[in-house]
Amino acid sequence: MPWNRLSLTGLLLACTSLIDCLASPTAAADEDDYGAMRRRLRAEIEQVAAETADSTGRPRFSVRVMDAIDAVPRHRFVPARELKYAYANRPLPIGYGQTISQPYIVALMTELLEPKPGDVMLEVGTGSGYQAAALAKLVARVYTIEIVPQLAKGAVLRLEQLGYGNVEVRLGDGYYGWPEHGPFDGIIVTAAANAIPPPLIEQLKPGGRMLIPVGAPFSAQELIVLTKDANGKVSTQSVLPVAFVPLTGSR
């Protein structure tokens, strides 16, 4: 199938104006104004982690993960109309029927992925780039795929502006993964699939972990942790109920 790798130069030519590619025109905002909001959000994530420990097995998240979440300027990843809710612990619409995930869920999925500094990760569903930015603080390289052209364009520009040089965005169908850069130490899927895509399982390294919501669109979904042992044997574990937009593309 055809793939279209995105570059900053190509995107500038593809957009009618620079603003068309950006989700939020807030680049000049004083980052310090959001410090108190970030601290409140971190405290709320830590509280929810304690409350959901019976389901997740994680009463607290690692300092590495929480510091990475804290370091990402979420207000730069939301549309201007949602700016006042940027540090609310809830998902927000980003256009084209997609959302930026709830910060607690981003932290939980990142924690369960168990990222290490030398890891190479795959993300399916770039959206505005928020999850990729958090992962980029924790691993060596993040490859992320987005099927909506406008969102992919915006994510490339945003990540470039914010200095996330270890993230590469591709426009395409994430169902098939990114085999040229696999196998991956971890895979994170930020949209719900009816079943776990076999190409993603194939591209996961032995010893690797995949986080994916599984279930029918706008119906009961479960966050699944898939692990592959050293011999390639796959096992899955349901963590907790979730609500994600559906994974679009091939089935």
Q: What amino acid positions are annotated as catalytic residues?
A: 101
Under 8 Å between Cβ of 70 and 38: yes
Under 8 Å between Cβ of 30 and 76: no
Q: CA dist 25 to 22, 62, 157, 184, 245, Å?
A: 7, 32, 12, 34, 25
Helices 35-51 and 103-113 cross at an angle (nearest 10°) of 60
Q: What does the longest C-alpha to C-alpha distance in the chain come to? A: 51
Under 8 Å between Cβ of 11 and 21: yes
Q: CA dist 143 to 56, 68, 136, 182, 183, Å?
A: 26, 18, 10, 10, 12
CB atoms within 10 A of CB 96: 12
State the Cα–Cα distance between residues 171 and 126, nearest whole angstrom.
9
